[in-house]
Amino acid sequence: MYCRNCGEKITERDKFCAQCGTRQKAIITPDVMTPKDVIEATGLSQAEVYRLFNSRNFPSTHIGHKHVIPRGKFLQWMGERVS
């Protein structure tokens, strides 16, 4: 799990980020995430998230007309951005 403000790696039990002090709220992510889930997890705008889902660098897929990303691939992608 990562701080929504600065991207620092935190645990699910942390109430505040040790790096920037931002209060953390629990984010429960489903096994398969939709753009709405990614917006909630990252704090990015809807336009930014849809640009991600449409880019080749984001490991998402389409199921019918829906954009989705498996939680594991999303968390790996987030880790790559923070490192």
The pLDDT value given to residue 70: 94
Separation of alpha carbons 53 and 34, rounded Å: 9
Per residue in 10-48, pLDDT (tens digit) is: 887 788 889 999 888 766 668 899 999 999 888 899 999
| DSSP bridge pairs for 61 | 68
- pTM > 0.75: no
- Listed in sequence order, the DSSP H helices in the chain are 35-42, 46-54, 71-82
CA 77 to chain centre: 8
- The two beta strands, 66-70 and 32-33, are antiparallel
Q: Where are the domains of the chain?
A: 32-82
